Amino acid sequence: MISKTVLSQLYRCIGAVLCTASLAGCTVGPDFMAPDSGLSKVVLAPRQDYMVPLSISEVKVPTKWWLLFNDPLLATLQMRAQDENLDLQLASERIEQSRAQLGIASSQLQPRVAASSRYTRERLSEHGKFVALGAPAGPSDFWQIGFDAGWEIDLWGRARRVREGAAASMEAIVYDREAVRVSISAEVARTYLQLRGIQSQLDIAQENLIIAQRTLRLAESRVRNGVATRFETSSASAQLATTKATVPELVAHRNLLMNALALLLGEKPRALDAELRKGMPLPSIPTRIPVGIPSELAHRRPDILSAEAQLHAATAAIGAAKADFYPRIGLKGRVGVEAFESGDLDSWDSRLFSIGPTIYLPIFQGGRLMQRLALNEARQKSAAIAYRQTVLRAWHEVDNALDAWAAQQSQYGELRVSYEQNKQALHIAERGYQQGVADYLSVLTAQRNLLASQTRLNASATDAALTVVNLYKSLGGGWDPDGLNTEPRITDYDSANTSASGQFPSSRRSAPDRGLSNE
């Protein structure tokens, strides 16, 4: 039996440790406060420099914004890219790695228990001090079996700051994956629209080939009838060859874009040729663009949220570095049995135990702790600058995308008028040439003008669709911010800091402009 004296000492030791643990709510270092992005001041409208009336609404940015193009094939490609894109899969695997890092950091707050056993056979020297004191010198066996336990009391919050930083880093990686998702959805839409634009350009080339062939036949007929010269047939042949020369380049560009889409979907080259080779017109451009409200922009851009989480992790690292200056207090214990004979291990008299506090106090570290603190403070400043840079870049991207969209709308309207007029001019020139009241030069000029206007109109239509893609990418469209509820958030997991209702407080607090505490 354990004596009352031993029990009394054990209770006093445990009581002292528990009193110390009750002070563990003290956490050194600055507390993170989410910075004010300032994006509520963004003007979600283009400048007043464009004559075309634009339809912009403050309706919430749709998660699947590509559905605004009303193209089922584009929607299917987007869905396949979300499932099969390798960059997205790689980003998801980084989350798993970060989750493991968070588990490692969280384990520092838990007790550690280990089992151990040992067997040794030993013999004392005949001339040793133990034999001189009367110990037997013959060989003997010694058996030990027991459990060791240890627990570092996080008195100054070092382990909690490490876990807080790991949780913030994980949150940043989660948002990095969503940033990849935004980029992938934009890239799929951009490549698909470019492909449709090239296919439309191929159709234009085929139409102009028909016109050039018709003109050549007419010129040859006039030469045979003696009312024209070889100059006209040579010019018509040259125009036909020039138009034919554009086709191989367009075909190569089309094939390149089909392979690019296959790569985005994690497929081998030519895997999508059967689905995409058939030419289709460009999807209709949305007439109404929902852009949301400025105050939501910072929470729709995953790169901004990632930069904020990285700033949080850098702030937590300062607290962990400051805690290293303070003593570390822990509790160690051991219980088990030991005996010289294995048969005595199950005897009550073979039992042993030990328990007591441990204290580690850094006295001289050669400046290592000071430099680590300085390093983490410098990293926090860098993270703060990176956050401001990310916010500013987002602001510029949104403003530029809005202006580009408005400019393309205006340009497309004017190019449409130019195309209709050139088409009419070619018809008049061909009829006059056929009737002999116009020379071939006017027909050739009209053909070239029509081809140029068709090409520019098609390019403008493609660019107008691409500006919608760029706009929604800049607005952070392509992911669902509300769909991350199952992801771990940055919260204080320590029960000592839970609210009265037992719920964990949110890490997103109101903050001054800089978002950094001066503690």
C-beta of residue 228 within 8 angstroms of C-beta of residue 222: yes
Predicted confidence (pLDDT) per residue in 412-468, tens digit: 888 989 999 998 998 898 888 888 777 877 887 888 888 889 889 999 999 999 999
More confident residue, 374 or 128: 374
pLDDT recorded at residue 491? 43
Residue 507 has pLDDT above 80, yes or no: no
pLDDT class of 404 with cuts at 50, 70, 90 = very high
Q: Which of 81, 113, 158 is nearest to 331 (CA)?
A: 113
Residue 52 has pLDDT above 70, yes or no: no
pLDDT class of 494 with cuts at 50, 70, 90 = very low
> Percent helix, strand, coil in the chain (nearest 5)?
60, 10, 30
Predicted confidence (pLDDT) per residue in 220-259, tens digit: 887 888 877 888 888 889 988 988 999 999 999 999 999 9
Burial 122-135 (b: 16+ CB within 10 A, else e): eebeeeeeeeeeee
Class of domain 28-110+164-330+370-488: mainly alpha
Two structure tokens written together for 225: 């009838």
pLDDT class of 8 with cuts at 50, 70, 90 = low
| Pair type for strands 328-339 and 140-153 | antiparallel
pLDDT recorded at residue 506? 35
Q: In whole angstroms, give the CA distance from residue 434 to residue 294.
A: 61
pLDDT recorded at residue 326? 93
Q: What residue spans define the domains of the chain? A: 28-110+164-330+370-488
Lowest-pLDDT range of 320-324, 381-385, 435-439, 497-501: 497-501
Beta bridge partners of 333: 149, 355
Of all residues in the chain, the percent with pLDDT exceeding 90 is: 57
- E strands within 298-367? 328-339, 351-360
Predicted confidence (pLDDT) per residue in 128-163, tens digit: 888 888 888 888 888 999 999 999 999 899 999 999
**HEC secondary structure over 163-212:** HHHHHHHHHHHHHHHHHHHHHHHHHHHHHHHHHHHHHHHHHHHHHHHHHH
